[in-house]
Structure 1
Amino acid sequence: MSRNENISIGPSHHAMNKIRKKTSFRRWESPLAGYLFISPWLLGFLGLTLYPMMLSLYYSFTDYTLMQGMNWVGLGNYKRILLEDDKFVQSLAVTFKFVIVSVPVRLLAALLVALALNQAVKGLSAYRVAIYFPSLIGGSIAVSMLWGNIFGIDGFVNRILQLFGFKGRGWISDPDTALWTLVLLTAWQLGSAMVIFLAGLKQIPRDLYEASSADGASRLKQTWCITLPMLTPTLYFNLIMAIIGAFQMFTAAYVITRGGPMNATMVYAVYLYERAFNRYQMGYASSLAWMMLMMIAVVAGIIALTSKYWVFYETESGGGRP
């Protein structure tokens, strides 16, 4: 056999390099590599979320204050909250009033704007950015202070009313109207819900509208029988997120009114802050925080249980048809 006819029995150098690379990739595909990549988030979750939560849960069973040590009181704080704390009941009533009014107003406004922006209009991208922009700065102290000035006695709203011959009023200093100014602020910051509604509208098949148009359905009939049922999963998500945000509303109520006048805007988070950082009752405030968590869980659970009656999914195993 000649030299040129020699047959190589073992793998070539190039093939060995490929095998080494595949082996190297397989090593990185191990579970340890996955945990390594998520370790920054995992450390942040354990150190900045889970640990403070467990610590506050422990504090809720103590009489811990910033001025002295702590003693174990068991369920004493929770009994005090439910049986002796009148301000807790008042703040809870204000919070539920705010949630019941602000959530539907915000979602309805976001839905109407999303329906309008879902049309083929020139310059639509600019409109979307302009409407979403308030949500980027929403919840900030600067916006809350600006909102307080707009509804102040010498604010923009009263000046507009005076131009038409109406007498202005102290919208923020009046217990009958103070809470409604916060509701308007929440409705103004509708950008995030609007974007989610808009994404849901884009997922509705156009064939449904074309078929209904061929059957003579009007635009209003299409909206009621096609758009709204197909949008119920998106509405369900927005509803849960809006309720959670409304229960936790703090910045505007604290900056604009400080819970006043006459506790008319003393929402739950403001009362919790007062107990924690004005009276330094950290144990009691921790109990209030966990009470809030339980209330949100109950409300969200009720909505989740009833969702099968009004949320429509395209899959056969999904929820019910409204």
Structure 2
Amino acid sequence: MSGILTNVDSRTKLVGQNRLELLLFYFKGRSQWFAINVFKIQEVLRMVALTHIPDANPVVKGVAHLRGRTVPVVDLSAAIGMGKTEINDDTTIIVTEYNGTVQAFMVAGVERIVNMNWEEIQPPPKGAGRSHYLTAITKVDDKIVEIIDVEKVLAEIVPYVTDVSEGAVDLDVMQRAAESGLKVLAVDDSAVARSQIRETLGSLGLTVIEATDGREGLNLLKRMASEDEPINSQLLMLITDAEMPNMDGYKLTTEVRSDPRLKELYVVLHTSLSGNFNEAMVKKVGCSAFLSKFQPDGLAKAVEVRAKQLFG
């Protein structure tokens, strides 16, 4: 168990190559596997003692005291509607970091880590069972693996906000951006994340167009670039997630920078992955800026920075 996440630093080399590593785990029995991206995981531990939290969300089983910090522990099976996890000798907690917060997910057990290409990761079939809790599916050893939409799970426990705080941005600059007619392209496989971008920027008068993965986003950009107007006469900026089926945000940015028609586009990497990790990757693939997810003031500020470049 202790060695399952060794040499994580070496895995950063996967970025920009459209590759990822998934931690496979299961809930009841080993017949069905689920997964999350290794980059979001800090450690994997056998079940530890929990302290009950009064009036907590029913899927939050308590808090664990790990390495001098208090970490909430979520029963992931219960959170996605598959029933409570029975605690036994195999029960495991997966400690993760999303959007600058640390939480642990309780699962029945962990299988292993697999190295994959994002092209092997596909969107879940619409209307299929738990699809609203999935960002993607793939196949390992002829088994379907369901990749959990952790952002949706966390948003149901602590609802995200979309309102921009008073005074957070220069409204005159934002108004000029809105009146320019320039749109914002948001590329993200999470409906929750796209909704947050749309609602936050919509409240500032900006129009958001959407794509659900990097390949769809790139195809849309190429269609726009084939029109008479330059891409920067159509888009204020591209906001892209890092992890997506078919093509991730790093590869998307690399493709944008290699296309003479798109290379001047302002690209913001918008992700729940570790900030320190992404600051390095922003430089590697050529993003214009990095932004943590579900921070409406931060999102508005990122747009303001770009708007000031164009409208002063």
Q: TM-score, normalised by structure 1?
A: 0.22
Higher Cα Rg: structure 1 or 2? Answer: 1
Q: Which protein is richer in strand relative to its size?
A: 2
Higher relative contact order (CA 8 A, sep 6+): 1
Q: Which protein is richer in helix relative to its size?
A: 1
